[in-house]
Amino acid sequence: MTDLDEMTKEELLDFARERGISPANAAMSKAEIRESIDAALAEEGSVEGQATSTASKDYMGRALITPAINSKDYMGRATSSALDYMGRTLVM
């Protein structure tokens, strides 16, 4: 894994652009770019890809957005076919 702490602002921008991470631009501070990267990497690690789900609600009963195609929770975060972004079970 790349050591993000050792990267320059330009290297962080390149890292973000290569991975399609947004927002990430030259007008941002190095800390802001790092925050954007950290958030994107955390999101990537929480759910392995987007999936179709037969569930229609999250663990609190809130309706999923487009559960049949690229299932997302009520805030637009990706879910797996059976779990939300934090690993909590989806329900019918």
Whether 55 and 78 share a structural domain:
yes
> Tell me, what's the pLDDT at 46?
47
Are residue 38 and residue 61 in the same domain, yes or no? no
62 shares a domain with 76: yes
| 6-10, 61-65, 72-76, range with the lowest pLDDT | 72-76
27-31, 41-45, 53-57, 80-84: which is most confident:
27-31
Number of structural domains (the chain) is: 2
| Average pLDDT, integer, range 8-26 | 90
Q: Which residues contact 12 (CB under 8 A, 6 or more apart)?
A: 4, 24, 30, 33, 34, 37
User: Within this chain, do residues 41 and 75 fall inside the same structural domain, yes or no?
Assistant: no
- Domain with 87 in it: 49-92
Q: What is the mean pLDDT of residues 8-17?
A: 92
The pLDDT of residue 47 is 44
